[in-house]
Chains A and B, each alone.
Chain A
Amino acid sequence: MTSPIAPDLPATGRLPARPRAGVWRQLLKRRLAVLGLVIVAIVLAGAILAPWLTGYDPNEQMFDGLTLEGAPLPPGAKFWLGTDLLGRDLLTRILYGARTSLIIGIVANGVALSIGTLVGVTAGYFRGWIGSVLMRFTDLMMAFPALLLAICLAAVFEPSLWIVAMVIALVNWVQTARVIYTETSSLAEREFIDAERTIGAGAPRILFRHILPHLLPTIIVWGTLGISTTVLLEATLSYLGIGVQPPTASWGNIIFENQTYFQAAPWLVFFPGAAILALALAFNLIGDALRDILDPTQRGRA
């Protein structure tokens, strides 16, 4: 088996292939992609089954969850992964935190992807002044230090789960827009699109019938990779204390709340940290495999 990342084929510059039925089967043939799928499945199961997997309430601050001096308890028989600084069960919080990560990962990324596609297709298909305004705006967004922009946005709105998702979406659509723009503009120059135009097809028909289907592989690939970026950004915002509001558990805010103790109680940082890493890694692995399968021209590019 060849490495899924290896750009074995030279860049051909040909049209990206339309998604084929065999994608799923091909995906399952790749070990790393399977690893990614398994991780996602585990996280998803943990998030959905959380109430049945643990006997604790994620927000209950237990009196026997802290020492008399207010220190958290290490992993043990009663609290498998130990407790946090408020005497809550860490395992339970990590399981419920998976919900936050997945919801934001999917919602924020979905919105970002939609904005990115809309901007990219519009700019790439219509060109002209709309195109250049949109693309200049995209350039402008690229020049922002992403985290700083997210921090400022988060400070303007009263934070909640959905606001955090929107903030992330507003920061993350730019990359997608650029890629989609490039692809759309090269598609728009193709003969078959011209042919459609000459037989009098309207823009909506061309866009939905011909352009979007060809863009689908790219959208799928970027959509998968984007979840990883989104999960990381959510964790970072929560780590800075400006993400999801307490007591809602998020992997990032678990670390934020407990990091003053991390030298004495490193498990409070490492378990949620490992969860973030695993989920981000999983989507990166799947996304990369999809890129290989769906779109050989994109291989190996950052």
Chain B
Amino acid sequence: MIAYLGRRVIQSLLILLGVSLITFALLYLLPADPVRQIAGRSATPQTVENIRRQLGLDQPFVVQYWHYLMSLLSGDLGRSYIQRSEVTELIVSRLPASLLLMVGAILCELLIGLTMGLIAAVKRGTTTDQTLMVASFVGVSAPQFVVGLLLLYVFAVRLGWFPIGGYGTWRHLVLPSLTMGILGAGWYARMMRSSMIDVLRQDYVRTARAKGLARGAILFRHALPNAILPVIAMIGIDIGIFMGGIVVVESVFGWPGIGQLAWQAIQRVDIPIIMGVTLVSAFAIVLGNLLADIVAPFIDPRIKLR
């Protein structure tokens, strides 16, 4: 186990290194000049060159990447070109909003997805089952920006139940979480359904049924906990899907998280911020996958860590 963990951690670090190299190379190839963004409209060519030298952007790619890597190893993500603040500080100030959204989204997708899956499994083969499964497909097929705009229109503009966007109270959190959660809910509904059907076929459930236990008791006390575990184990992998949606959902709702930070930074080639957000996201994804892999054998003894 320890050896496995050690190997996985080293692998994860190598992956992060690769992500940093590829992103850095892509940004280096960008047909745009970050220095001109910093220097602004009135800068003379001399000012531009001075700033380029100050930032070391006149150096060859390998040197630039080496410098970045060295400061990264000492925990320094650099300073934003445009905002001039520490990237770490900027990300830390935005991270709570994104994490809050992530928690909200996970709650939404579990609540909706597990409920749907449970009902579908119990009502297997009926119209309810089919309807729910079509709904789960709609969930995974709906573009997040459309869902977000639709929810905004209905629940914020028309009904006025929730704010039109922004950040602050729990009411602000509902619509973005829901938007983010609908995608995942579709997957969870289907996983929950098959997991539950599997469990319902197990001997102990049959035994319980034979002993004449009430249907509700069987479902909630015996079947549900067993069915839910393998599904919950997927949350780690979910982080990747979440990170994919964050740019869009945050921009639709004006949510002040790292997705918006990255999007604004891309517009202005603020390379340190783009690097920082990409690395933080990749870190979260790698961590999520690692957790999912570690948790798996505890839930399903057939899986062995290799």
Contact = CB atoms under 8 A, between A and B. Distances in A.
- Touch between chains A and B, by CB atoms below 8 Å: yes
Interface of A: 2-3, 5-7, 32, 136-137, 139-140, 142-148, 151-153, 155-156, 158, 228, 232, 235-236, 239-240, 252, 255, 259, 262-263, 266, 269-270, 273, 276-277, 280-281, 284-285, 288, 299-300, 302
A137 B15 CA distance: 8
Given A3-B124, A151-B266, A239 B145 contact: yes
B306 to A, nearest CB: 13
Interface stretch (B59-67, B89-97, B244-252): B244-252
A5 B125 CA distance: 10
Nearest to B243: A145
A276 B138 CA distance: 11
29 contacts: A2-B125, A140-B22, A142-B285, A143-B15, A145-B243, A145-B244, A147-B245, A147-B248, A148-B243, A151-B266, A153-B26, A156-B26, A158-B31, A236-B143, A239-B248, A240-B248, A240-B263, A263-B153, A269-B146, A276-B143, A277-B142, A280-B141, A280-B143, A284-B141, A285-B137, A288-B137, A300-B193, A300-B194, A302-B187
Given A6-B124, A143-B18, A269-B150, 16 more contacts: A3-B129, A3-B130, A143-B16, A144-B19, A144-B278, A146-B240, A152-B274, A155-B32, A156-B26, A156-B30, A156-B31, A262-B149, A266-B153, A269-B146, A284-B140, A300-B190
Contacts, number: 147
A142 B19 CA distance: 10
B106 to A, nearest CB: 15
B134 A32 contact: yes
**Range of interface residues on chain B?**
35 or more
A270 B125 CA distance: 32
A281 B143 contact: no
Contact of A273 (B26, B146, B251, B281): B146
Given A143-B15, A145-B278, A152-B26, A284 B137 contact: yes
Contacts of A148: 243-244, 247, 262, 277-278, 281
A300 B189 CA distance: 10
Interface in B23-49: 23, 26-27, 29-32
Given A3-B129, A6-B197, A284-B140, A269 B149 contact: yes
